[in-house]
């Protein structure tokens, strides 16, 4: 490989560990049919086994970390569909995170924008200010004058028209069984789902408290910014220990992997899992509506609660539940991927949009706020919400 080597992070993951993980791959190719980027490019370097080979070569010093080479790693969505089907049980998530840490953050990473996104209090203020200063017609004009590859254009395109709702209160349960982690973007743009989660969990008999809203470090961890990710993890550990709860819950499945990484040994779960297993007493009002259900990759491959979600939704009388098909149909959001590679993210989104067009739903449901914002930028007037929000709206009170 030719080109100038990239500067490597001083907090890199041990290269020996990366090489050991890469050696587990038997190059069988069973990962190819479920990989969204391989389906998009039909390029071996854009496949899981291709990236594993690149990671092994980098770890062993066999190649220089050129911009062209690392781009194949940066294109990975981290959906983990490959890990889910791997017969050799390759720990692809750890390998990818470790290799990105070895390389350090990408030069094209939108640091200022991500710094804003990771501060929910500031994001909430700017969102409300923006709604007053930049009405929809000006937002469309501004978006149209930004480059197609601009991270700011992608962020503005996905921004909902409605201002975010009131943030969650801390709660007053003296001995909570559960602590809800609000996150960063989700605490602002998905506040309704957070409130819905509290309402449903408490109706099912759980005592729930709420942690402060901040970033779990997922975008930093997956972007090679290991020092920032560790600071977020330390903050999470402090607030978790102070909560006194026995389990941690998050309404955003994209946060679960990072929360578990930061809190080894702690039970970190999707509220849908608890509601499916402990919410037998919950009753829902009828709703004659046809909904398309987008199942985020992390809900399948990390949370494993896609079945719980569908079973809960089908308990609403009259609701027609239409799940979108799975791999390799990732919507392309993938955390900060939609900001770093907006054109690729839009290409990946097309398959999901095609399915939506065929189903002709009246509403779109998705449990990941990043996916929902990314899809919402292209679906126009189709209403969308978190499945928990719909469940809470239809909850029948005694």
Query: pLDDT digit string (tens) for 152-174?
Result: 778 777 777 665 566 666 555 56
**Residue pLDDT, tens place only, 71-98:** 999 999 999 999 999 999 999 999 999 9
What pLDDT, on the 0 to 100 scale, is given for residue 3?
Answer: 41
Give the residues across from 294 on adjacent strands.
366
Q: Do domains 178-276 and 283-393 have the same CATH topology?
A: yes
Residues in the chain: 398
Closest to 158 measured CA to CA, from 371, 368, 356: 371
For domain 283-393, which CATH number applies: 3.40.1010, 3.40.50, 3.40.1000, 1.20.120? 3.40.50
∠ Cα 84 234 211 (to 5°): 85
Extents of the domains making up the chain: 15-103, 111-158, 178-276, 283-393
Superfamily designation of domain 15-103: Alpha-helical ferredoxin (1.10.1060.10)
Nearest of 159, 16, 202 to residue 99 by alpha carbon: 16
Question: Could you tell me the fold of the domain covering 178-276?
Answer: Rossmann fold (3.40.50)
pTM recorded for the entire structure: 0.88
Using alpha carbons, list the distances in angstroms from residue 266 to 180, 227, 256, 263: 13, 22, 11, 6
Closest CA to 346 of 332, 325, 328: 332
Confidence of residue 14 (pLDDT cuts 50, 70, 90): confident
pLDDT of 388 higher than 70: yes
CB 232 within 8 A of CB 263: no
């Amino acid at each position: 490989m030719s080109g100038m080597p990239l500067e490597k992070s001083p907090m890199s993951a041990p290269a020996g560990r990366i090489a050991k993980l890469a050696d587990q791959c038997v190059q069988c190719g069973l990962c190819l049919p479920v990989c969204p980027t391989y389906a998009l490019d039909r390029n071996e370097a854009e496949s899981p086994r291709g990236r594993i080979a690149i990671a092994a070569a980098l770890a062993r010093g066999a190649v220089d970390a050129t911009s062209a080479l690392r781009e194949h790693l940066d294109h990975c969505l981290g959906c983990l569909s490959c890990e889910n089907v791997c017969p050799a049980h390759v720990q692809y998530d750890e390998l990818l995170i470790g290799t990105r840490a070895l390389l350090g953050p990408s030069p094209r990473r939108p640091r200022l924008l991500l710094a804003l996104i990771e501060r929910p209090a500031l994001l909430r203020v700017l969102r409300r200010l923006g709604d007053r200063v930049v009405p929809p017609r000006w937002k469309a004009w501004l978006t149209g004058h930004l480059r197609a590859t601009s991270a700011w254009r992608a962020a503005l395109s996905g921004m909902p028209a409605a201002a975010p709702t009131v943030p969650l209160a801390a709660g007053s349960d003296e001995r909570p069984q559960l602590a809800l982690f609000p996150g960063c973007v989700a605490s602002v743009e998905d506040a309704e789902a957070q409130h819905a989660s509290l309402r449903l969990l408490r109706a099912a008999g759980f005592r729930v408290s709420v942690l402060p809203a901040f970033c779990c470090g997922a975008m930093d961890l997956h972007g090679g910014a290991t020092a920032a990710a560790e600071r977020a993890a330390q903050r999470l550990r402090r607030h978790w220990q102070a909560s006194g709860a026995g389990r941690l819950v998050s309404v955003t499945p994209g946060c679960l992997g990072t929360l578990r990484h930061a809190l080894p040994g702690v039970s970190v779960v999707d509220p849908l899992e608890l509601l499916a297993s402990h919410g037998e007493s919950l009753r829902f009002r009828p709703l004659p509506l046809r909904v398309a259900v987008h199942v985020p990759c992390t809900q399948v491959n990390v949370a494993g609660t896609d079945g719980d979600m569908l079973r809960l939704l089908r308990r609403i009388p009259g609701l027609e539940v239409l799940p979108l098909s799975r791999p390799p149909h990732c919507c392309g959001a993938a955390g900060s991927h939609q900001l770093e590679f907006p054109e690729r993210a839009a290409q990946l989104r097309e398959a999901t949009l095609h399915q939506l067009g065929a189903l002709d739903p009246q509403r779109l449901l998705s449990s990941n706020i990043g996916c929902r914002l990314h899809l919402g930028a292209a679906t126009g007037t189709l209403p969308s919400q978190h499945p928990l929000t719909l469940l809470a709206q239809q909850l029948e009170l005694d």
